[in-house]
Amino acid sequence: MNLKNSLLFLSLLTCLPCFGQKFSDGMVRISTEQQADGKFLIYGEHDYLAPISVWLEFSTLKNLTPNGAVPYKAVIKAGEKKKLLLTLTPKPKAKTDIKYVYKYTLGDYTKARHQIDYAYCLPFLDKATYKLSQGYFGKFSHEKQHCIDFDMPEGTEIVAAREGTVIAMRKDSDQGGATRDFADLCNYVIIYHADGTFANYLHFKKDGVMVSVGQQIKKGESIGYSGNTGWSSGPHLHFEVYQPNTMLPEKKTIPTKFRVAKGKIMELKEGEKYTGYQGNE
Ligand SMILES: [Zn+2]
């Protein structure tokens, strides 16, 4: 018997936002145990305050029969400890071998469905005006992604575009630059929404994140101060909403509408300037 698991973290922040932001956070643990009867059990657990979707992809599965289709997809809820994902039963008297990688993305791929009529607020203060320097599918770094960038000076106050729970953040980086080398150095906030989607707010300045994991945030509530950390070519805020892709171990970014003035809800356009409006109608 030869058991070898190679583990692979899927970047949560691969939005290529202002180029891909990538991190391995050690939040997800997949383990394999062999029982006395020879069966292999694969378990999973994680530390996020939201469900995650996990994909197990086998490059070797010799003389073992899984009790589910592979690649295997599963959802691990928040707080679920040592969830049994898959059982592999050996063929009698045969030499077995397993090699697999796991990938994961935030959210429950079976349930997350974006509320398409939700009116997000602009993620900055009332009456503050900033240019949308890159829009959906922007050629600079948002190809194939529904992400937006607002140019703004470092230290600009950022507010939540939608209510939810902070499930991840980083604020200790003081580095940023226009090459991939900086991808792991992004300060960010991730907020989990009631419909199972998430929002990424990226590039906060050092010590500029003013919320903590587990905190409930209201729409329009301040979450920190913008910056230029991570893979970024200049001071700006990157914003995107996403849910797990049902077919692939990736996230799927989603177009969203913003309330930009009384009675006016719209998708934003690259190159336009927008003024913060925190009203609810
Ligand atoms: Zn961006």
Residue 275: strand pairing partners = 129
Burial class (CB in 10 A: 0-12, 13-18, 19+), 59: exposed
Percent of the chain at pLDDT > 70 equals 91
Amino acid at 103: K
Cα(58) to centroid of ligand 1, in Å? 33
Give the model confidence (pLDDT) of 80-127 as tens digits: 999 999 999 999 999 999 998 888 899 999 999 999 999 999 999 999
190-210 mean pLDDT: 97
Q: How is the chain split into domains, by residue range?
A: 2-106, 119-275
Nearest CA among 152, 113, 116, 145 for reference residue 237: 152
Distance 184 CA to ligand 1 centre (A): 15
Higher local confidence (pLDDT), 93 or 217 = 217
Q: 224: CA distance to ligand 1 center in Å?
A: 17
Q: What is the per-residue pLDDT for 119?
A: 97
CATH code: domain 2-106 is 2.60.40
Residue 238 CA, ligand 1 centroid: distance in Å: 4
pLDDT band per the 50, 70, 90 thresholds, residue 16: very low
Task: Copy the structure tokens of residue 7.
Answer: 């583990």
Domain 119-275: give its CATH superfamily: Glucose Permease (Domain IIA) (2.70.70.10)
CA of 158 to the centre of ligand 1 (A): 15
Distance 137 CA to ligand 1 centre (A): 10
CA–centroid distance, residue 133 to ligand 1 (Å): 9
Whole-number Å distance, alpha carbon 239 to ligand 1 midpoint, is 7
* Cα of 53 from ligand 1 centre, angstroms: 24
Give the confidence band of 8 by pLDDT, cuts at 50, 70, 90: very low
Q: Is the pLDDT of residue 221 over 70?
A: yes
User: What is the whole-number distance in angstroms between the Cα of residue 120 and the centre of ligand 1?
Assistant: 18
pLDDT band at 25 (very low <50, low <70, confident <90, very high): low
pTM of the model: 0.89
The 10s digit of each residue's pLDDT in 35-88 is 999 999 999 999 999 999 999 999 999 999 999 999 999 999 999 999 999 999
Tokens of 37: 């009867």
Compute the distance from residue 251 Cα to the ligand 1 centre, in Å.
Answer: 15
pLDDT digits (tens, 9 = 90+) for 124-168: 999 999 999 999 998 877 878 899 999 999 999 999 999 999 999
Band (11; pLDDT cuts 50, 70, 90): very low
Distance 43 CA to ligand 1 centre (A): 35
Residue 233 has pLDDT above 60, yes or no: yes
CA 277 to ligand 1 center in whole angstroms? 22
Instruction: Check residue 184 and give its pLDDT.
Output: 87
Cβ distance 60 to 99 under 8 Å? yes
Q: Are strands 2-5 and 97-106 parallel, antiparallel or unpaired?
A: parallel
